[in-house]
Amino acid sequence: MKNFVLAVFLVAFTLVSGAQDKMMKAVKTISLEQTAGEFTQKAITVSEGTYVFNVTNTDAAPEVGLVLIEAGKDGKDAKNHIADAYVSQMVKHGQTESSKEVTLRKGTYKYFCPFNKTPEYTLIVE
């Protein structure tokens, strides 16, 4: 009986602990808009945390996307891309698509769209 009570306690503790972790990990949104040849947000500064990127295509190109890399890395090399920042599917005219959750640590990142051929813009995490 003691083992049963201990097992129930451990399961309950694990569930409560997991729920508290999720509540503390508030997911924030970074909204980006692309127009022809550029993002309208030229630089972004945020605090450390977990984010979802929403990318809107405002007549930028038939389809657009998002690439996020750490500053100083080559964006042409896909192994440097932070894959969770990719939108779930290509963003068509007038549409908005979202990325997976991305945990950003202090540092400098670059974001751009290889399909709309935007420059690399700066995302600073403080």
Domain spans of the chain, in order of start: 27-125
Q: Please tell me the predicted confidence (pLDDT) of residue 25.
A: 72
| Measured distance CA(29)–CA(112) in Å, rounded | 17
- The whole-number pLDDT of residue 18 equals 54
pLDDT of residue 8: 46
DSSP state at residue 120: P
Average pLDDT, the chain: 88
Q: What is the DSSP letter of 10?
A: H
Flag residues of the chain having pLDDT under 70: 1-24
pLDDT given for residue 6 in this prediction: 46
Hey, which CATH number is domain 27-125, 3.30.70.580, 2.40.110.10, 2.60.40.420, 3.30.390.10?
2.60.40.420
Would you call 7 helix, strand, or coil by DSSP?
helix
pTM above 0.85, yes or no: no
Confidence at residue 57, expressed as pLDDT on a 0 to 100 scale? 98
Give 117's DSSP letter.
T
